[in-house]
Structure 1
């Protein structure tokens, strides 16, 4: 069996998904059904269509009419608009031929030549289905792919004279308060609107953009022309709702009111670090601001639903309608290039000073949790319809915070990569570079370089060499936290102690395997091999057998 056949077998074992469809060909799948399936994949995430496989993953093979697969790409190209170019390969599995049709994700909407427009979605049971692609969903897809900017659309039925002048004053106050572009303060009102893209001139009349209406419109205008826009603030105590406020006010006014409600629930204590008093809030204000602004700015305004801020006993959660934009996933959230579903609105908010100008507000959110020794923000409740971040209501680790503050006093702000690494080692004690790479979301070489810097700074200690090299917090860090014995448990034993432990084991049990050494001394496979090799070279033990079956005994 060749590589492609192995790959296809693995696909079949995975079962159908959003990017994988099985189609029976026992009765010769009609062309219209074949083309419709390809269109639904292209209009979603692309993927593979396996022709000749049943829904239950049974391989039943191709119909005689489809054994010659060379004509299928031309058929699909001729019956799709715009034409889809697919790749096809035929392979033999379990004595039957099947076809793998690889469908690319389309950058524009695709229909069949008969005008059928469909997409894929997951049902409640997790299985996929094809459903109609409705007109109101077009803008969602195009904006998530960065093809259009909904916030820059001009509302030709609204006149800029209907704006609320108080909201423009809010913009000027925000620029002053948050350190926005000071040059905007010198502009007249019309010039300010134009410079920020809040208005466009259409046939000699100033008309607002969606961003302009969000910032300068009245509640009535927003409700009439942006019915999806809403902001909710809730405080829950168990199952009881203590606060339940909903706003349709202009964006800056809604932000300020929700921020006041949030600040009223921030509690602070102080700790002494050197000569300084350092505040320790239960929720970091900057992290909240960035997360809340992200939700307001990056939400999908074509999808009904409010931006929700909820405080409960387990923590703070902020969610907004609309999934991550194209190219952003849970696996690259920290390193993906900054992109917005609403670029104009995002630009306005940055220029006002309300959001991180570098576009790395996500770093602020992580920093606001990790520097206090709290768990990293959790985005795992996010899906294709919603982005949701949870900030746990966990007690701060004051020893960890002191360590971070002292580092910042000496060397400046600690990079987010370092905070992530220290946080994970604080929780999991001993990890390898490979263990840490998914959390940092950067190549292993970058993570290794960060680890070595932390070693040089005295925060970490390395153990072992090569790919089995592990890291723990340093003895100094454990000492500051008053956990000296815990350091000894995590750091392990000196090589001479490890050798003696192995010899004592053999004396008691007669022999030892490499797996026993790994478990006994908390070593990787490579490290255990090197330890046993040292003992063989010094003629203290002998090897009996080869490879996995090898055992080691005392030399007679």
Structure 2
């Protein structure tokens, strides 16, 4: 939910954008219906249901969401509208009941006030008294269909498929090999010794997957034999493909096996296609794989933990020459999206299974696994993972990129505390764009502009980044330990590319370009004229008012 102060600041931004651009998972703006009191109240009830089902949020009434300019957009709510009447209407017309908090915010525009409705997360699914409802997904309120009701049941833990008991005996269902693999994997992660020394039954009871003498589906996933897995989870298997092209493969292996055995075998298959680079530094030799093994382990563990086992389909690893794709059935839940997964509170699709793996220290309930994947690539100067949701499946893609041994050494030499994942993402963005404004950094790092500003300040405080200019035209570059060789030491092509990048971010005088790049006037002028001859840059104005611009694509083609 958004605070009163945050909403006041957002209203000021309406001078430069429409309210719809500011909306998010936990924020919506609605114009008050002055023609029909009943319709206006119904809209309040509907939005309360939508937000409660979506994890809570703030709704600002009295703002037209598609009108630009604060004075035109802020219309207000009539003074005769009673907050207590609205609160009672929401309570009476929802099931289970929702009790929102209303705040009055005085504004100089329109009727003089807007209303902020704060909706706390409830116990979804909430509906109106006729059984209808919606749920907040991104910036929209989607109908509460059967699929979404099932999804909400998963998110709230009411329908944990892996916690269900199965009608099989311990002796017939459990694989001793899978149990040993589970113990060995947990031992490698320093799981509690007293837990691992328990006999098989006591271990599964301690993990919460053997309840009142009955095995759960989670127990079968952890240490069931192949026959039982096929019976309990028909259609589930794992698949490894070493791809020669998009449509042909050189190696294929698919099996039905318990999670620990599956991960061990998939890691074994991966090593043959994941070469090692050796870096010498002094008397020491450091080994790095093309794809960090810790990232592969986290991606595989996430895939098995968050698969929707009611869907028939595999956990699949496709190994290409230039990338690795790891996918599983079951989309995101609880409002998690590719662009917020690093910061969203953790949400488990299969709580019973995840809790057992957490006790064995094989997964982390604090949502650190995704951050570890990103860190493993970023500290080696490689491209971060890509995460996509395609229908009812999630795919994690690792792109093959070269190790930057010097950058890795510089990271290792930094004083504590280590860089956060967000800081590494911003450093990665500045390595790709040596001089960049906040918008470019936000786009490249997939962080919000506000978060980018916080990270840049933190990096500047550690002398790892520095700014040039002020206001919207301010540009950032790496500094200190991350500072690359000066542009004057780079080859002419790199110098021209850097100048073009600067022009693409906004018009510049030749003096500004000299200050930003360190080039002398003669070199800067020579490169700019070459860019102009290539149709990539143009000069407008004369004398002190002269400014260089990046040419539009249409002009460049001409």
Q: Aligning the two structures, in what range does the TM-score lie when normalised by the shorter sequence? A: 0.5 to 0.7
C-alpha change, 1:284 and 1:476, in structure 2 (3 Å) is closer
Secondary structure of the structure 1 residue equivalent to 2:380: coil
Q: Which residue of 2 aligns with 1:163?
A: 173
Equivalent position to 2:509, from 493, 508, 516: 516
For residues 434-491 of structure 1, what are the alpha-carbon distances to aligned partners after superposition, in whole Å with 9 as ceiling and x for unaligned? Answer: 97688496685565344443x4xxxx57465887574335599645x9993369969x
Q: CA deviation at 1:293?
A: 0.7
Q: Choose from 76, 82, 88 the match for 2:96.
A: 82
Report what 1:428 is aligned to: 433
**Would the alpha carbon gap of residues 15 and 435 (structure 1) be closer, same or farther in structure 2, given more than 3 Å must change?**
closer
CA 1:184–1:6 in 2, change beyond 3 Å: closer, same or farther?
closer
CA contact (8 A) 1:175 1:182 kept: no
Mapped to 1, the partners of 2:253 and 2:61 lie a distance apart of 50
Instruction: Return the alpha-carbon distance in structure 1 between the equivalents of residues 478 and 386 of structure 2.
Output: 24
1:79-134 per-residue CA deviation (whole Å, 9 max, x = no partner) reads: 21122335598999x99999978473642124545441433488xxx996753432
Give 2:525's aligned residue. none
How well do the aligned residues superpose, as a CA RMSD in angstroms?
A: 5.3
Q: Distance in 1 between matches of 2:453 and 2:285?
A: 38
Q: Pick from 298, 301, 304 the counterpart of residue 293 of structure 1.
A: 301
CA apart distance, 1:220: 4.2
* Contact 2:342–2:371 under 8 Å retained in 1: yes
Q: Report the more deviating stretch, 311-320 or 68-77.
A: 68-77
SS in 2 for 1:279: strand
Residues 289, 471 of structure 1: alpha-carbon distance in 2 compared, 3 angstrom cutoff: same
- How many angstroms apart in 1 are the aligned matches of 2:104 and 2:438? 39
User: Which structure has the larger Rg over C-alpha atoms?
Assistant: 1
- Find 2:192's aligned residue among 181, 189, 208: 181
How far did residue 428 of structure 1 move?
A: 1.2
Q: Distance in 2 between matches of 1:476 and 1:95?
A: 51
- Judged with a 3 Å threshold, the aligned counterparts in structure 2 of structure 1 residues 162 and 12 are, in CA distance, closer, same or farther, namely same
Aligned to 1:191: 202
> TM-score with structure 2 length normalisation?
0.66
SS at match of 1:271: strand
Paired residues of 1:324 and 1:384 also in contact (CA < 8 A): no
Asked whether the equivalents of residues 304 and 328 of structure 2 are also in contact (C-alpha less than 8 Å), the reply is yes
The residue that corresponds to 1:531 in the other structure is none
Structure 2: 5+ residue runs without aligned partners? 1-7, 499-506, 518-543, 547-558
CA distance in 1, matches of 2:116, 2:365: 44
Measured in 2, the distance between the counterparts of 1:364 and 1:12 equals 36
3-state DSSP of counterpart to 2:383: coil
How many angstroms apart in 2 are the aligned matches of 1:68 and 1:358?
Answer: 43
Instruction: State the shift of 1:199 in Å.
Output: 0.7
Offset, 1:192? 1.3
- Output the CA distance in 2 between the equivalents of 1:23 and 1:158: 59
CA drift at 1:273: 2.6
Which of 153, 168, 179 aligns to 2:163? It is 153
Could you say what secondary structure the match of 2:389 adopts?
A: coil
C-alpha contact (below 8 Å) 1:180/1:350 kept by paired residues: no
Partners of 2:277 and 2:289 within 8 A in 1: yes
